[in-house]
Structure 1
Amino acid sequence: MGSLPTESLSVEEHQQQQVEMDDTSRTERARWLLNSPDPPSIWHELAGSIREAFVPRNKLSSSSRVKQTWRRSAFSFLRGLFPILNWGRNYKASKFKSDLMAGLTLASLSIPQSIGYANLAKLDPQYGLYTSVIPPLIYALMGSSREIAIGPVAVVSMLLSALMQNVQDPAADPVAYRKLVFTVTFFAGVFQSVFGLFRLGFLVDFLSHAAIVGFMAGAAIVIGLQQLKGLLGISHFTNKTDVVSVLGSVFSSLHHSYWYPLNFVLGCSFLIFLLIARFIGRRNKKLFWLPAIAPLLSVILSTLIVYLTKADKHGVKIVKHIKGGLNPSSAHQLQLTGPHLGQTAKIGLISAVVALTEAIAVGRSFASIKGYHLDGNKEMVAMGFMNIVGSLTSCYVATGSFSRTAVNFSAGCQTVVSNIVMAITVLLSLELFTSLLYYTPIAILASIILSALPGLIDINEAINIYKVDKLDFLACIGAFLGVLFASVEIGLLAAVTISFAKILLNAVRPGIELQGRLPRTDTYGDISQFPMAIKTPGILTIRINSALFCFANANFIRERIMRWVTEEQDELEETTKRTIQAVIIDMSNSMNIDTSGILVLEELHKKLASNGIELVMASPRWQVIHKLKSAKLLDRIGKGCVYLSVAEAMEACLTSKFAALSNC
């Protein structure tokens, strides 16, 4: 009997030692957080971003940096800037055969489309052809996509004409208008380059996928309605882009007989031919070349018809003179001073974002099919440089075209050499064949543009967006209706505003959830999502589901936490006559915090402490712990309130709770 107290005492001592060891381990792991090095400064991250944009990552290891000579470092930089230096060394003749055929097929589609898109941008036809020469060559040197086809596109062409007409009327002074377009192209290239150099690709994402779907569909309809001018041979047409103004102008012209039926007959005949060719190409993949070559055949046949029948004498409108030859320099035409500088810069920014969004979406779509990754920031740099050079060589904003990229892919391209072949072919056409296009009817260019528009309208994707996310669908519809019934700017503004509103709604009212321990695990989950989760009496566990704990949501978080504390306190007092001992805040989802968030944490600590409740923080991220230390908040509330995980915080709270009970 006398040995029992001794055994009991030894067991108690053993338990006490175990508790002390656990406390020591938790304290040590908490120090990993508290003593972690300071995160890199914003300037350090900026310099790293620029370096990563050009220097391959495998060249940035510490051992390599020590051993690399200046020459090898320079070569690594050049390989990052010009990807062609990487894959060009292993380029084989078998690949060139595929790229040659793809490039020639691409050129047959690009030549008539480029002329039509230049007309859509209110520029002379040769500027569309110029834009299919220099930008593809620059992209071939700097771009990382193997399939993307570079040149003018319908949406950007329409965007430029719609926005630029408010600055300069192309009909009143085409030379001044053209100079401003080159200036816009220069600014677009500068913005694109800056986005890529400073890893600002997220700015492009402000135009969400849903917004782009709606914008593209609205733009396709507007572009299609504007082609009625060429399809009907209308002389007087509105400069506005909204559907009401365009249809009003069409009906007015029809009513007063300001149109010529021969244009309509010729255009519709070849439009039917183009649509049939597209249908056959989709049904039979081996005939992919038919829809690709159909536009060029249409141009050749319609030009012959007009020339042989003298249809231009009977009201059929024709292209007339197209200036041939190499791209002339336009560096002296850039308007970098003057009253329109701010407006051209703004239009350049809008064009840059829209062009990048389309190009990166197209490039990533086909890259995923081929199974390789496309670096968005490098793409931005490549697009930027090609548009800067393009602005100096009589080109307007170029980007990746979905329809031409699909043709390039179907034709079996292996690398961007297909773009080089296409550019050389267009250049030869400028040198040799532009005089043959004098009698090309405008109606054919309109029918070519109309035949390419169905690919921009994705009804199935809009339905899918509606099923998945109603707020995303609202952005989609906002962009669509804005472009259709107001203007391009209004459509873009509506899309961005709704997308921003969605972001702000999530930021201002973030998800804040009560957590419980999942049975037979150390994992804590939302009790609403996991009804089987077990709540610990006297300890409230809360997770903040917001990447940024900031001024926008700090007060909302404080009020929600205090409300839950009050509700839990009342419930405990009614059922168990106990009180809340601690509140654990899981900060694993909060990537950063600002001064407002720090102030709210301090206020929470004071309010809870006045009621005898301990505030505990679990899993704060690197930037958060750094700012808490910089603000000396941990010195004021105690460094013992920070733990590596919710499980450890809970264990520490339970240990202190039982210790308090045993002391009582």
Structure 2
Amino acid sequence: MGSVPVLEEGSIMREQRVVLHVDEEQKERFNWVLDSPNPPPLWKKLLGSVKEAVLPRQRRNTTWSCFLQSLFPILGWLRNYKASKFKDDLLAGLTLASLSIPQSIGYANLAKVDPQYGLYTSVVPPLIYAMMGSSREIAIGPVAVVSMLLATLVQKVEDPVANPIAYRNFVFTVTFFAGIFQATFGIFRLGFLVDFLSHAALVGFMAGAAIVIGLQQLKGLLGITHFTTKTDAVSVLVSVYKSLHYQITSGENWCPLNFVLGCSFLIFILITRFIGRRNRKLFWLPAVSPLLSVILSTLIVYLSKADKQGVNIIKHVKGGLNPSSLHQLQFHGQNVGEAAKIGLICAIIALTEAVAVGRSFASVKGYHLDGNKEMLSMGVMNIAGSLTSCYVATGSFSRTAVNFSAGCQTAISNIVMAITVFVCLQLFTRLLYYTPVAILASIILSALPGLIDISEAFYIWKVDKFDFLASLGAFLGVLFASVEIGLLVAVTISFAKILIQSIRPGVEVLGRVPSTEAFCDVTQYPMAISTPGIIVIRISSGSFCFANANFVRERILKWVTEDNEFKENAKGKVKAVILDMANLMNVDTSGILALEELHKRLQSRGIELAMVNPRWLVIHKLKLAHFVDKIGKEWIFLTVGEAVDACLNYKFSSA
């Protein structure tokens, strides 16, 4: 591979400015780059984002009916809805409800609110999502991770034991703020904020949260009365040991029947899940096994009067229509800021899980899921939920998988599920009085293995070690510190990765690939040939800014003045440096200053600076800063090939 030499520091200054001789066609191509229209101002971009979120591009100038249809997708597909689809959706909805009812009660217990609030959360949010959501398969309701997150964060503000009413009201307030944030993300197309919690970090967070949730279920599974409020693994295990030791040694009644009952039905649920995976026709068996467990265990306790012997039971579950919680929201006082902060965390976690679940199943069915619409619909459903005694709802992976396996066709399955849960609230809540708490713990434990994805962790380790570090940091942070620490570690490592990549972007020397007009990185393509007297450099970064401007400038000057490779294989002095700016999306004032200094340093050595294909916003800012006038319009090109040919023409004419 050929390389070019460099000029020494003592090179004589050029007496007059170089003028390239170009034909009329080349001048016209220069103007294509230089005379591109100015980019729209910031306020137009924001307004366009709002329009794009509310009204799709292809329907922007259409009627109000199209506007309503874009806001409520159910209005579009409901007109072509057939009875055959309803049959599938009815079966899927009933199957979903059989799993949702016991899980909702268990997750409410995990969130440290009364059981009925879990059932309420499986009524209103699914109905709203069915009208506004774009996913056909996703199942809406309470989930384990968000329930644990609420319990962990809210109990630091309000004590759920000492003041359960204040705790419940604060949970509703947090839900309202979570909905506001989610809707805002959707309206202003701020979905990228959710992406700060990367896939790798989410894998680690989910795995750590699953273990923490499982450890917390030891309280219900073992029938322990004294338990810690901390969530880290060490504190929970120490609390379990101390509680059991105290209850046994102090003579306080400890009933091992809780453990026997819970483990028996946990084994039953896991066996049915194994059978359902081996035989696809029995997909309904693992879906209904939690409900069967609740019914059978309740009958056992009722008939044997095991509650008299120390088996902990749910007792009263309030039924009826979702009561209004409008006047229970707390928008005054010193804890409003805390409610907003917790709401933001819950909003991001809930959206991340829901969008990941929805897109996974949408890709299987072969349709696109609009992330911003999903955020808007989930925001609206959580705002409405906070006003109707619900806490934060989102898409559940386990229930969505059941919904998918049951053959759901549309979001009608969510409506069927919500109606079924509502009927349960009206007629059957009294029958839940004798349901043992250990069964709720076993139902939650049975759902946790799906949150631990070991194969995905191995895949992340194999592909990207830095991503694995973020995943491991989230896992260890949640497991041994707290949920907040785990999230903070994951986001910090992800930001560190972005920062390192921004500070040290790729700066590549390009050469022409033989028999083509393509210019590629000479390190990746050793056959690429460098043009004598010309250094072609590509900046592989989305932004040329304060974080990387000095690094790029010094790297280029080093290649020009110090790199031994260019000196040892010298075929002539460097006459021009060409910057391929096609990858640059933006440049700030620090980047422009770095370009100006680079131009001066090169010019003092008798070297010209040329730019190739600067993007829309970049060329606009360079013109405003008068940098284009400083280097000369004739040194801006549309392609690398044109720039090299122009520099070669100058070189030959001046020889």
Shorter-normalised TM range: over 0.9
- The Cα RMSD (Å) is 1.3
Matching residue of 1:23 = 23
Matching residue of 2:33 = 33
Matching residue of 1:409 = 404
How many Å separate the matches in 2 of 1:397 and 1:572?
62
Count residues with an aligned counterpart: 632
More off after superposition, 645-654 vs 400-409? 645-654
Matching residue of 2:150 = 160
1:467 correspondence with 2:432: no
Can you list the C-alpha shifts for 1:124-180, whole angstroms capped at 9, x where unaligned?
000000000000000001000000000000000000001111111111100000111
Can you list the C-alpha shifts for 1:537-574, whole angstroms capped at 9, x where unaligned?
11111100000110010011111111111135x66666
1:246 maps to a residue whose letter is V
Alignment of 1:451-530 (within 5 A): 451-530=446-525
1:149 correspondence with 2:139: yes
How many Å separate the matches in 2 of 1:520 and 1:438?
81
SS in 2 for 1:45: helix
1:110 maps to a residue whose letter is S
Deviation, structure 1 residue 532: 0.5
Matching residue of 2:8 = none
Q: 1:623 aligns with which of 617, 625, 638?
A: 617
Deviation, structure 1 residue 210: 0.5
Matching residue of 1:11 = none
Matching residue of 1:193 = 183
Can you list the C-alpha shifts for 1:239-275, whole angstroms capped at 9, x where unaligned?
0000000000111122222642010000000000000
Could you tell me whether the CA contact under 8 Å between 1:515 and 1:527 is conserved in 2?
A: yes
Alignment of 1:524-543 (within 5 A): 524-543=519-538
Could you tell me whether the CA contact under 8 Å between 1:56 and 1:76 is conserved in 2?
A: no
Could you tell me whether the CA contact under 8 Å between 1:23 and 1:652 is conserved in 2?
A: no
Deviation, structure 1 residue 26: 2.1
Q: Note closer, same or farther for the CA distance 1:269–1:363 as it changes in structure 2 (3 Å cut).
A: same
Deviation, structure 1 residue 22: 5.8
How many Å separate the matches in 1 of 2:565 and 2:471?
45
Deviation, structure 1 residue 50: 1.3
How many Å separate the matches in 2 of 1:574 and 1:223?
64
Q: Note closer, same or farther for the CA distance 1:414–1:574 as it changes in structure 2 (3 Å cut).
A: closer
How many Å separate the matches in 1 of 2:472 and 2:652?
58
Matching residue of 1:16 = none
Deviation, structure 1 residue 115: 0.2
1:300 maps to a residue whose letter is I
2:154 maps to a residue whose letter is M
Matching residue of 1:237 = 227
1:641 correspondence with 2:635: yes
SS in 2 for 1:463: helix
1:652 maps to a residue whose letter is A
Could you tell me whether the CA contact under 8 Å between 1:516 and 1:536 is conserved in 2?
A: yes
Matching residue of 1:138 = 128
Structure 1, unaligned runs of 5 or more = 1-18
Q: 2:373 aligns with which of 373, 378, 382?
A: 378
SS in 2 for 1:293: helix
Deviation, structure 1 residue 20: 9.7
Could you tell me whether the CA contact under 8 Å between 2:20 and 2:650 is conserved in 1?
A: no
Deviation, structure 1 residue 483: 0.3
Could you tell me whether the CA contact under 8 Å between 2:457 and 2:468 is conserved in 1?
A: yes
How many Å separate the matches in 2 of 1:489 and 1:282?
35
Q: 2:270 aligns with which of 268, 271, 275?
A: 275
SS in 1 for 2:508: strand
More off after superposition, 252-261 vs 335-344? 252-261
How many Å separate the matches in 2 of 1:213 and 1:137?
29
Using structure 2 for the length normalisation, give the TM-score.
0.95
Deviation, structure 1 residue 589: 0.6
SS in 2 for 1:351: helix
How many Å separate the matches in 1 of 2:99 and 2:608?
71
Deviation, structure 1 residue 21: 9.2
Q: Note closer, same or farther for the CA distance 1:660–1:322 as it changes in structure 2 (3 Å cut).
A: same
Can you list the C-alpha shifts for 1:27-69, whole angstroms capped at 9, x where unaligned?
2111101000011122212111111112233223xxxx3xx5x
Q: Note closer, same or farther for the CA distance 1:155–1:575 as it changes in structure 2 (3 Å cut).
A: closer
Can you list the C-alpha shifts for 1:81-125, whole angstroms capped at 9, x where unaligned?
100111111011111111001000000000000000000000000
How many Å separate the matches in 2 of 1:563 and 1:352?
48
Could you tell me whether the CA contact under 8 Å between 2:187 and 2:376 is conserved in 1?
A: yes
Could you tell me whether the CA contact under 8 Å between 1:330 and 1:394 is conserved in 2?
A: yes
How many Å separate the matches in 2 of 1:363 and 1:411?
16
Matching residue of 1:604 = 598
Deviation, structure 1 residue 577: 7.1
Which structure would you say has the larger RCO, counting Cα contacts within 8 Å and 6 or more residues apart?
A: 2
Alignment of 1:240-255 (within 5 A): 240-255=230-245
1:502 maps to a residue whose letter is K
Deviation, structure 1 residue 582: 0.3
1:261 maps to a residue whose letter is P
Can you list the C-alpha shifts for 1:471-515, whole angstroms capped at 9, x where unaligned?
000000000000000000000001000000000010010011111
How many Å separate the matches in 2 of 1:77 and 1:141?
14
More off after superposition, 650-659 vs 481-490? 650-659
Matching residue of 2:195 = 205
Q: 1:584 aligns with which of 578, 586, 591?
A: 578
Could you tell me whether the CA contact under 8 Å between 2:141 and 2:395 is conserved in 1?
A: yes
Runs of at least 4 residues of structure 1 off by over 6 A?
Answer: none
Deviation, structure 1 residue 578: 3.1
Matching residue of 1:333 = 328
2:242 maps to a residue whose letter is S
Q: Which has the higher helix share?
A: 1
How many Å separate the matches in 2 of 1:81 and 1:461?
35
